[in-house]
Amino acid sequence: MRAQPDRFNFLAGVVLFCLLSSPQSGEAAQHPAEKQIDAIFSGITSAHEPGLAVVVRKDGHTEFIRGYGLRDLRSNLPIDEHTNFRLASCTKQFTAMAIMLLVHDGKLHYSTTLADVFPEFPAYGRTITIRNLLNHTSGLVAYEDLMDKQYAGKSWEEIPQISDAGVLALMEQQTGTKFPPGTKWKYSNSGYCVLAMVVEKISGMPFAEFLHRRIFAPLKMQNTAAHVYGKDHIANRAYGYTNDAGVWLETDQSPTSATLGDGGIYSSLDDLIKWDDSLRNHTLLGAAEMRPAVTPETSAAVSPDNVEDLPKAAGEKPLAYGFGWFLDPYRGHARMWHYGSSIGFHTMIQRFTDDNLTIIILSNRSDLDLSALAAEVADLYLH
């Protein structure tokens, strides 16, 4: 009579052992959305075309990381987590951090004006503060518009590249801003190029070197750099492409590709994971010092009536910006995010702070809607 229970216990033990030791069950528990995430991206990319790299992190752990397509159509090398993409405007969060580190050092204040930093700057610089530059309320004229006027009738291939110093020089040729600083919100690449020059003036070192010494090296972001053409080499570099009637054209550089403060950093998923960890753990700045970057500007400058050219993300119109981050929620979930768009590249970083969820998508093609793709991934996790 005792044989039946013993046989039952033995079989139950075997079943339990198989369940616990099964790789598939372990992976499913760790990556509940892996197949769904892969389905979102595998259907829109090809192994023989430019593509993208994706990482999803939850509670400080990497749940999904994968590359799709090619980083370079000449070498046919595949995209992976080590591939370095031009971040475009996702660079702005690093420029803002550089300024905040100088504030931490006591060498700068958010109330410091352009004229304080650059005494030779025109009189209107006395009304523009570092805070205005950080949160896009400076009213500075867009340097892209000035270049369009200067080189009217020329193709982009004929226009020489401009640097951050060149942008500062253009601003010094102006007599005023588009609106009184602090009264309106208008996204400004000019402001972030000028911020890079502020870092150089205050720190006494090139902007790219400051980023390396104070951000990239401490975080062991070994392959991340503000790319200065002819002076450095970007390893595992992705080149940007545009689809023209079914033909992929290499569109890696434009007249604005040499500016650093507004969009010149190259990085990879591998390094951006370290950046994400540093933000979560307050590695570079304490929570109190970081708070201004993640606190929305609440003045009249960003009221609905005073917002110009504000980008949309996943169908929502944000009305909040801090220092290098958009801060509008997504479906009721707190979110700090930024996009990047330059010739041949699109990038997206979204951090859902209360949910401990981060989604990063880097693309070396200009035909994908990364906002919509990030929303699809977020919807798998947010309830």
Q: 186 pairs with which residues across the strands?
A: 308
State yes or no: pLDDT of 25 exceeds 60. Answer: no
State yes or no: pLDDT of 79 exceeds 70. Answer: yes
Please answer whether residues 77 and 97 qualify as being in contact, where contact means their C-beta atoms are separated by less than 8 angstroms. Answer: no
State yes or no: pLDDT of 13 exceeds 90. Answer: no
Residue 207's domain comprises 33-379
For residue 294, what are its two tokens?
A: 């993640």
Question: For position 96, which CATH number holds?
Answer: 3.40.710.10
Residue type, 215: I
| Sequence-distant (≥ 6) Cβ neighbours of residue 13 within 8 angstroms | none
Residue 26 falls inside a structural domain: no
Q: In sequence order, which ranges of 112-219 are alpha helices (DSSP H)?
A: 114-117, 130-134, 143-150, 164-172, 189-203, 207-211
Q: What is the pLDDT of residues 266-315, one digit of tens each?
A: 999 999 999 999 999 999 999 999 999 999 887 777 777 777 766 555 44
Characterize the bridge pairing of strands 77-78 and 70-72: antiparallel
Residue 203 CA neighbour count, 13 Å, CB half: 24
Q: Give the pLDDT of residue 200.
A: 98
Residue 247 falls inside a structural domain: yes
State yes or no: pLDDT of 44 exceeds 80. Answer: yes
Residue 70 falls inside a structural domain: yes
Question: Can you tell me the mean pLDDT for 173-177?
Answer: 96
Residue 2 falls inside a structural domain: no
Q: What is the pLDDT of residues 199-233, one digit of tens each?
A: 999 999 999 999 999 999 999 999 999 988 777 78
| pTM summary value | 0.89
Per the structure, the count of domains in the chain is 1
Q: 307 pairs with which residues across the strands?
A: 185
Positive/negative CA dihedral, 146, 150, 153, 158: negative
Question: Can you tell me the mean pLDDT for 142-150?
Answer: 88
Q: Give the pLDDT of residue 7.
A: 45
Please give the C-alpha separations between residue 292 and each of 91, 97, 114, 245, 298, in angstroms, as whole numbers: 18, 11, 19, 45, 12
Distance CA 283, CA 9 (A): 51
pLDDT > 90: percent of the chain: 73
Positive/negative CA dihedral, 198, 204, 206, 209: negative
Question: Can you tell me the mean pLDDT for 192-204?
Answer: 98
